[in-house]
Amino acid sequence: MKQITLPGTDLRVSRFSFGTASLLRVGSQRERHRLLAAAYDNGFTHFDTAPYYGFGVAEHDLRAVLAARPEATVATKVGLYSPAGEQQPAPLVVLRKAVGKIIPAVSRPIVDWSVERARVALSASLRRLGRERVDLYLLHEPELHLLDTDEWLRWLEGERDRVRWFGIALNTARLGPFVQEASPLAPVIQTFDSTSAREADIVVNAGRPLQMTYGYVSAARQEERFDINALLGGALQRNRTGSIIVSTRKIDRLAQYGDIAARSDTGDS
């Protein structure tokens, strides 16, 4: 799979990045590890995760893959934390998420925008990932008015030994203020987009290239039928400069993403 340099950074990532938000649904830890390793073998060199994904399980699962493939890059996040912490065993996490469908408070994320909590969270994420430095550290669904921008910026700039690049990961409903005020917390923007509504135009209209986008398949699922090849080919044509986060629970589908990327980058999509 073709790699690109993420605009505004020196970070080399694959055209499709592998998202781990639903990794826990794959099954056993062995099955999850097999899927992650197969993703890399099929050209995914960048992985997107967060402490809230699987309540810490997703970060921990990535550890073995990243250890065996030190050239792979990884993004994790800060600001949203797991109820009852990120050290819960996977079966308990599954139970908590199931109960959360009936009682939302059981699985609702804890929101904390204090730098003190973030400092501890970064250390914990690095331990789970088995890395000394994270390639991309993203504020997870932030709201600009809740942040002390100067304090966060001083801290992130001071963490260059542990944070290669930082930015924000959020849906477009919260993105406006960061773009309008040209927030220094957002040198990298990861945001929702679709080929129909083109939500990420808020970034493009501000004169910025698209960097990390996601949501194309989930948006299309609201329609009765869609062609995954045409959909993601169109997404790659829309986000020509960055990387698109996708996911699957089936190993045999991974090669399809590489084929789609190859056709798109040669103009055959």
Which residues are annotated as catalytic?
53
CA distance 224 to 217: 12
Tokens standing for 82?
A: 């797991």
Q: Answer left, alpha or beta for residue 53, where phi above 0 means left and psi between -120 and 50 means alpha.
A: beta
User: Can you list the positions of beta strands (E) in the chain?
Assistant: 3-5, 12-14, 16-19, 46-48, 73-78, 80-81, 110-111, 134-140, 163-170, 189-192, 212-214, 243-246
The CA-atom distances, in angstroms, between 236 and each of 58, 151, 167, 197, 218 are 26, 36, 22, 15, 16
Of 62, 46, 85, 94, give the one whose Cα is nearest residue 214: 46
